[in-house]
Chains A and B, each alone.
Chain A
Amino acid sequence: MPGRDPHGGAAERIRKAIALVNSVADEAGDEEITPTEIAEAIRDCLELSDVDSVPNVRRYLGESLDAVSDGMPADFVAMTLYAALGALRERSPD
């Protein structure tokens, strides 16, 4: 389909993961979000094959998963997820 973002699926999942992380960083929301839930959201991203179609996206997601495992601050996890999302954006048609 003309103009369609070929990485839309991965981008959407990364955005969801970012929203989760940001709600922790901002201490927003009624429910407490656990690191396990964030890790699960990142793993959901990694399951998509289009994360391999753009260089470094999988590696940034891997960095974010490591950061969650290592108990790094939510802002740091968000940074690596934004980097993954940005890498997809750089390779997407305008």
Chain B
Amino acid sequence: MLSGGARLVVESMPERQSTSVVLMFGAGSRLEDDRLAGVSHFIEHLYFKGTKRRPSSKEIADAIEGVGGFINASTDKELTAYWARVPSEHMELGLDVLFDIIANSKLDPADIERERIVILDELRMYQDQPQDLVQNLFEELIWPGHPLGRDIAGTEESVTRLTRDEILEYADAHYRLPNLVIGAAGMLDENATLAVVRDQLSLRADPDGALAVAEPAPLESPHVLVRRRETEQAHICLGVRAFSYTHPDRYALDLLNTVLGEGMSSRLFLNIRERLALAYDVHSFTQKHRDTGYLGVYIGVDPKKAVDAVNAAMAELRSLSESEVLPDELARAKEFTKGRLRLELETTNGVAFWLTYQELLLGEIKTIDEELALVEAVTAADMKRVAREVLNGPVQMSVIGPFARDSAFRLAVGA
């Protein structure tokens, strides 16, 4: 813990050539009301436009790319992250640039107007990408009327309306030390890293009082949303509310997801694509937040086979709660999960993000061995119990394709 309430997490990886540094704020689209929808994402874009010391985006990029490094940022629903990966001897430079953009960005009015156009184009681009759009529509159904159900980038209306004062006010409220975790991993000296952070980090220290988040209301019934588009393929997302990232059964849920629809030996792939030849792309996925989450299935399918494919996916979901997964499926899912985590942690960037996520979202850091042990401890009986609990909830489904009515889709999910 640093003075002011920011936290620093460091992992020395002495065999590496690079060091990655991440600044992660507990501020994302979930904290925005309808009026401010998209402001976190807008700020993330604007912070690369120029500071007092580095007046343009080119100078910011040059500072890092000039030493062969990478710099980028991302906005999520519960956090925003700014990161740099640099040759280790330039770790101080990486931190300096990141601290500069989060504390000293000019937020020039002309830059705001230029970036507004870019973001509006980005929002319109998603409208032309049905595979992305169908997931956004699905999240609207999973969290109706809640900021979690909204696109991280906001709406065309909100982005068009956001003023510079609103952007400044939001940044001032959320970009404060108690809301920040700094992660660093690579060939670094822990004490030297701490010294750089102490010396250079400058943000407001007082906590802001506006961090409370509302929990989404429970879902009462299944819903189907069909968006008619004359696409060659139907794009379908269906799923149920599931667990948060603090839930004790989250590991069982992840393994269930792996058995169901991750990779080419998953049930969805083997049965819907290989056996029935119903869909080219079928997979499942989860999303987890502090108090909620979901288990979802995506299907890209010939429109004529759309309802048949939904029924086949529903049958796979039902089978998970009717009988235990087979021993070889469980073993494969565990090896898959453990292997993916280990691969993710091969890079300094992966480790820096992993540490920072844990500290910011969970308030504690597990070692990789502790994490792997929790995966290993899950049993087939746990997974069946979790499947029964999660799949008992009302199914939500979004569909994009050339469909004039939704009745057959409603029938498929009992809506």
Contacts and interface: CB of A to CB of B under 8 A. Distances in A.
A and B: bona fide binding partners: yes
Interface of A: 25, 56, 59-60, 63, 67, 72-73, 75-76, 78-80, 82-83, 85-87, 89-90
Contacts of B367: none
A73 B407 CA distance: 15
B161 interface: no
Nearest to B305: A82
6 tightest Cβ-Cβ pairs between the two chains A and B = A86-B308, A83-B307, A82-B308, A78-B304, A79-B304, A80-B408
Nearest to B278: A86
Contacts of A63: 407-408, 411
Interface of B: 276, 303-308, 311-312, 315, 402-405, 407-408, 411-412
Contacts of B403: 76, 79
Contacts of A60: 307, 408, 411
Given A72-B404, A86-B308, A90-B315, A79 B303 contact: yes
Q: Is the interface of A mostly helix, strand, loop or mixed?
A: helix
Contacts of B306: 79
B404 A59 contact: no
Nearest to A83: B307
Given A79-B305, A83-B412, 10 more contacts: A56-B412, A60-B408, A60-B411, A76-B405, A78-B304, A79-B304, A82-B304, A82-B308, A83-B408, A90-B312
Contacts of A56: 411-412
B91 to A, nearest CB: 57
A75 B304 contact: yes
A72 B408 CA distance: 13
A86 to B, nearest CB: 4
Identify which of A56, A63, A72, A82 gathers the most chain B CB atoms within 10 Å of its CB: A82
A72 B407 CA distance: 13
